[in-house]
């Protein structure tokens, strides 16, 4: 039986080939110089994760990196060459970092960013890719790429966020960078219509349905009323492990036309108190309602409240003084830090639907709903009810 003989090349031959292409040689020309066939060279180039090139005897990279560059903030070709040698020699990231005078995290990011399909780090490929990525102005990927735009539109029609779309594109098209795009690029195409070919109505598919992006700059929190407040990192460990009762989480349920209901959930028992907010949910209104509903609790069940950074709690100092408790504020955009409250608000939506007018509910209505919810068995309490758990604490006191 005939067998197909495949010519095997040492690893340094493939490295020499990749270096030649990155230096400006054509794929076929570089393959000939190392003694390989043109088809073998093409396969090597694809597996190395090489950039798009022009094929043929005169082909090659259209924008090769400069041959000489000095040390600076970015890695030089010499440093990347040391990283390549270190990886081939089995050195750790820390050892390579010490050799080139960089932190080990810099080496780790460089290797993970530029190790391609064949699992090998090529210094010349990494250096050329970095050089091309720094070129300005950069072409906008969503201008002429109809296939990519169509896929993004399909997923956004299903309610996917730009961040999720970016992650799934990287997952499905790991070997095709032309089908990958960052979530920031998608946002730019949504909010700056001249920057892409996405449908103009797609911005309405976003969960917040904003007509423009809110800038994430220091100016947004320059006048924040919470600059001197306690943050969630200041909370004692007893709050986190729920071992000691009396620590609450709070938030608002928002309805139509600015109507709202305040919610307070005790972390150890999941007991819920609802705050009636007639007319508005300004800081004074919320503070008055919270003091009214919590002032009759015994002292050991009134230790702290954790809230998000909404303006409705700007009068937190008044609440702390009146109730003799401490208010902690979550990190920005971190609703999971109030997990019990978030889960309870989800349950409350059974009675208080989204986009409904919440001002129609009287204080008696809120007490009735809270009582129903506090009598519901909870799996997290081994099927006990929040009301029973709280009664046990009151009897113990």
Model confidence at 339: pLDDT above 50: yes
Q: Is residue 1 part of a domain?
A: no
Phi-psi category of 324—alpha, beta or left, where left has phi over 0 and alpha has psi -120 to 50? left
Among the candidates 85, 115, 136, a domain finishes at 136
For residues 366 and 239, membership in a common domain is answered with: yes
For residues 100 and 195, membership in a common domain is answered with: no
Among the candidates 82, 109, 136, a domain finishes at 136
More confident residue, 186 or 368: 368
Report whether 22 contacts 127 (CB < 8 A).
yes
For residues 152 and 301, membership in a common domain is answered with: no
Please report, rounded to a whole number, the percentage of residues in the chain having pLDDT higher than 90: 32
Distances (CA, A) of 306 to 11, 54, 268, 326, 339: 58, 60, 13, 9, 11
pLDDT score, position 219: 47
Residue 77 pLDDT grade (very low, low, confident, very high; cuts 50, 70, 90): confident
For residues 256 and 388, membership in a common domain is answered with: yes
More confident residue, 292 or 65: 292
What is the chain's Cα-based Rg? Answer: 30
Q: How far apart are CA 219 and CA 212, in angstroms?
A: 17
For 389, what's the count of Cα atoms within 13 Å in the CB-facing half-sphere?
A: 24
CA angle in degrees (0–180, nearest 5) for 218-220-225 = 105
Residues with Cβ within 8 Å of 95's Cβ and at least 6 positions away in sequence, in order, are 86
CATH of the domain at 237: 3.30.420.10
Q: How far apart are CA 229 and CA 310, in angstroms?
A: 13
Dihedral (Cα; 80, 81, 82, 86), 10-degree rounding = 100
| Full strand arrangement of the beta sheet holding 304-307 | 230-231, 326-329, 304-307, 247-254, 260-266, 272-276
pLDDT score, position 108: 92
Q: How many CB atoms lie within 10 A of CB 204?
A: 12
pLDDT score, position 370: 96
Q: Is residue 271 part of a domain?
A: yes
Q: Is residue 333 part of a domain?
A: yes
3-state secondary structure string, 297-345?
CCHHHCCEEEECCCHHHCCHHHHHHHHCCEEEECCCCCHHHHHHHHHHH
Model confidence at 3: pLDDT above 50: no
For residues 358 and 294, membership in a common domain is answered with: yes
Q: Is residue 34 part of a domain?
A: yes
Among the candidates 113, 136, 159, a domain finishes at 136
SS3 state at 60: strand
pLDDT score, position 70: 52
pLDDT score, position 253: 95
For residues 131 and 275, membership in a common domain is answered with: no
For residues 153 and 108, membership in a common domain is answered with: no
Domain of 107, in residue numbers = 7-136
Residue 196 pLDDT grade (very low, low, confident, very high; cuts 50, 70, 90): low
For residues 299 and 344, membership in a common domain is answered with: yes
Report whether 326 contacts 302 (CB < 8 A).
no
Q: Is residue 212 part of a domain?
A: no
More confident residue, 302 or 332: 302
For residues 72 and 39, membership in a common domain is answered with: yes
Residue 66 pLDDT grade (very low, low, confident, very high; cuts 50, 70, 90): low
Q: Is residue 43 part of a domain?
A: yes
Q: Is residue 282 part of a domain?
A: yes
50 DSSP assignment: P
Q: Is residue 222 part of a domain?
A: no
Q: Which of 364, 366, 373 is nearest to 344 (CA)?
A: 373
Buried/exposed code over 153-171 (b: 16+ C-beta within 10 A; e: otherwise)? bebbeeebebeebbeebee
Highest mean pLDDT among 51-55, 70-74, 372-376 belongs to 372-376
Domain count, the chain: 3
Average pLDDT over residues 151-158: 86
For residues 102 and 200, membership in a common domain is answered with: no
Question: Which contiguous run of DSSP H or E holds residue 27?
Answer: helix 27-33
For residues 193 and 86, membership in a common domain is answered with: no
For residues 177 and 284, membership in a common domain is answered with: no
């Amino acid at each position: 039986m005939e067998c197909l003989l495949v010519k095997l090349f040492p690893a340094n031959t493939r490295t020499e080939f990749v270096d030649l292409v990155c230096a400006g040689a054509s794929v076929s020309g570089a393959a000939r110089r190392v003694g390989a066939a043109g088809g073998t060279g093409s396969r090597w180039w694809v597996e190395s994760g090489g950039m798009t090139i022009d094929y043929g005897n005169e082909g090659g990279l259209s924008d090769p990196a400069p041959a000489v560059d000095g040390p600076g903030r970015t890695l030089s070709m010499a440093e990347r060459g040391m990283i390549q040698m270190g990886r081939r020699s089995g050195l750790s990231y820390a050892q390579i970092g010490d050799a080139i005078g960089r932190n080990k995290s810099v080496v780790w990011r460089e290797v993970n960013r530029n190790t391609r399909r064949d699992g090998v780090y090529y210094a010349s490929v990494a250096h050329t890719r970095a050089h091309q990525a720094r070129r300005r102005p950069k072409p906008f990927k969503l201008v002429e790429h109809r296939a990519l735009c169509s896929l993004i539109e399909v997923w956004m029609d299903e309610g996917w966020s730009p961040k999720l779309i970016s992650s799934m594109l990287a997952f499905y098209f790991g070997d095709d960078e032309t089908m990958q795009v960052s979530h920031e690029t998608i946002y730019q195409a949504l909010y700056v219509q001249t920057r892409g070919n996405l449908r103009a109505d797609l911005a309405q598919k976003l969960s917040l349905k904003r007509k423009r992006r809110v800038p994430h700059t220091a100016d947004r929190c320059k006048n924040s009323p919470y600059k001197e407040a306690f943050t969630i990192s200041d909370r004692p460990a007893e709050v986190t492990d729920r071992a000691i009762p009396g620590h609450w989480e709070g938030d608002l349920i928002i309805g139509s036309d600015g109507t709202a209901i305040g919610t307070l959930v005790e972390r150890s028992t999941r007991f819920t108190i609802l705050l009636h907010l007639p007319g508005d949910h300004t800081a004074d209104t919320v503070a008055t309602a919270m003091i009214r509903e919590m002032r009759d609790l015994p002292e050991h069940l009134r230790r702290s409240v954790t809230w998000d950074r909404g303006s409705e709690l700007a009068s937190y100092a008044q609440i702390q003084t009146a109730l003799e408790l401490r208010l902690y504020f979550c990190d920005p955009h971190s609703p999971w830090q109030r997990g019990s409250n978030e889960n309870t608000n989800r349950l409350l939506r059974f009675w208080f639907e989204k986009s409904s007018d919440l001002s129609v509910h009287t204080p008696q209505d809120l007490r009735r709903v809270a009582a129903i919810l506090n009598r519901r068995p909870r799996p997290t309490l081994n099927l006990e009810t929040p009301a029973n758990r709280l009664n046990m604490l009151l009897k113990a006191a």
